[in-house]
Chain A
């Protein structure tokens, strides 16, 4: 039976800080969040209608209009396109009888695009009614739409077998594959559920923090902040309640390692969160999970349940009195910016994912104003293993300033896309060889907010001392048009994902994109390159990492692939305009019913 709006809102005690959950449930029950729902939420939660509307309008997966009984979200990211998603898109349109961005006239099928869904190693892929369909072909699209017309359940539409590892387990049964190509000693090594929290019972918070500091562990979400210091700051921060967040937003195009860790090592992660809670004095953990990974919900909740039953979570964990820690899952609703820690907190509080001004930092004033630790999935798993095997063991891996291992998500032009847990300090060349990549033109290290590097730099090492990375590693071979296929698409991605608070992030991205397009149209002059360089440096003035790095695809290709730009510019002109009076006045003249007069203009 479908739930009524009232019941859904009451389930969350009409708590405005649970607005995301309320909206997600309504979207899934009703297929949209309409006027009645918005008004009712505002009334019951005692917030303004605008408060509800601004959250609804912020996230990709919320809609005020129906999006079809079956809603297809096709990934439009760079790698998806490299793997043929355009063809898949045309097939969907042909079979469904509507174009992307619309719903078929009978209301059955809605076709929409979305940013990277964390399946780069099995593209083209789409999410249909919360189920992921990887490795799509024109043939499978045909079958899927046929199934929809027959009214099949979305789980019955899958045309391929369940994937490897836990993907095939009863609660998951998803066609997604792990593609773990290289297991390392930290994340994917042997592990028995419960051993971390049991080890904790002999430790004190101070010892845990000391161990983290000694191990040299740094955050794996991209920024590389020392874990021991973060935990210590939060421990020392005064607060009646503290929170541990695991950041599983994984929105950086080209990263999908957290998805695989969540599939294969969820218990390790949850124990890592409990350890963090024990260290800082928090009894509440929240896993902020991107909506794209909604298919993991039942599976993860079953594991949490099981761990509670086994006293590995809950009250007096592993028999240690006073060691209390519970975990709940908070879903996002499609917004890259929500991976930024303060935006993540805003989102978890039911608001638009707009980064906060810092200070105060989350360790002092985070979720609901309380001291909060936010760590990446991989970070928390590594922390758990360090507590098992010690800081010396951890330090023996990697390089002096980049201890331990790093899980890479490798995709693009290579034979073996997938997950590689490598020791820090490996060179790009070594990794390319492992992945079976040939005739490589460029590697994008760290996703679009990272850097494009060319063969001249393939001897560079992945580590904080040289090239730091959150793990996204996208390979482009010589046949790719780097500027058109990658740089332009990534710049559009940032335009789409900017929260809009800061002026340069909001409009400089658009100006840079227009310039790039001008160059690609063959209308560029030398000054345009100077402008690109100079103007993109203004992006430093933005508030958060998104805006500060949004020009990186352009900046790093300008410096490492300058020849791709210089061949595009007109050397004989010092100014070229793309303005065309005839087309600029066509519409206004048509609606006024007058003939354009173009002479003398």
Chain B
């Protein structure tokens, strides 16, 4: 039987969740035995080359490109997992959600203290992704099958979740892993 195929992406995240994937230390060697990676920053494959079994998403959606990538993942992955607070809730980037986007952009590009004189423009190149009115958690845009909590989720938790997913075994979420307050 061929190995399960995994894809990962970082949307509006800080890459901390991906770092936490790497934090499984030497188990990464077991992981390579267990699964095959497709589109992912881990192996730098930029486009899907086949259908994947599991897609892992870090970060929510703050711009049109995030939405595009997320939908692409939904199309190409059997199971989609939100990894970490940003994917699940919007996380830190969602702090801007209470402020109208116009104010955010003006503060960042026109009125902020670090703006150079005479250089004031809100980026408007057509090549740039369009900014969304707020940061959306992934499950508000596509169906998400599983959520792994944490900021970032602990490496052990990611490892357990992945092993359970690819082996189809039940997963034990200890109380401390879901209680944060």
Contact = CB atoms under 8 A, between A and B. Distances in A.
Interface in A565-600: 574-575, 577-579, 581, 583-597, 600
B142 A575 contact: yes
B64 A585 contact: yes
Contacts of B141: 577, 579
A595 B133 CA distance: 15
Interface residues of A, number: 28
Given A502-B181, A591-B101, A591-B105, A596 B142 contact: no
A589 to B, nearest CB: 6
Interface stretch (B4-12, B124-132, B153-161): B124-132
Interface in A471-507: 502-504, 507
B100 interface: yes
Interface residue tally on B, bucketed by range? 20 to 34
A587 B106 CA distance: 12
Contact of B140 (A579, A583, A601): A579
B57 interface: no
A303 interface: no
B64 A601 contact: yes
Contact of B181 (A503, A585, A589, A591): A503
B122 A585 contact: no
A578 B130 CA distance: 19
A50 interface: no
Given A591-B106, A601-B64, A585 B132 contact: yes
A238 interface: no
Contacts of B126: 594-595, 597
B136 A579 contact: yes
A154 interface: no
B46 interface: no
A593 B124 contact: yes
B122 A591 contact: yes
A152 B95 CA distance: 46
A583 to B, nearest CB: 8
B59 to A, nearest CB: 16
Contacts of B130: 585, 588-589, 594, 596-597
B132 A584 contact: yes
Interface string A378-395: 000000000000000000
A541 interface: yes
Nearest to B104: A588
A479 B179 CA distance: 43
A588 B133 contact: yes
| Residue with the highest number of chain A CB atoms closer than 10 Å, among B68, B101, B122, B134 | B101
Interface string B134-148: 101000111100000
Contacts of A584: 132-134, 136
Interface of A: 502-504, 507, 541, 574-575, 577-579, 581, 583-597, 600-601
Closest 4 CB pairs of A and B: A575-B143, A588-B131, A585-B130, A592-B124
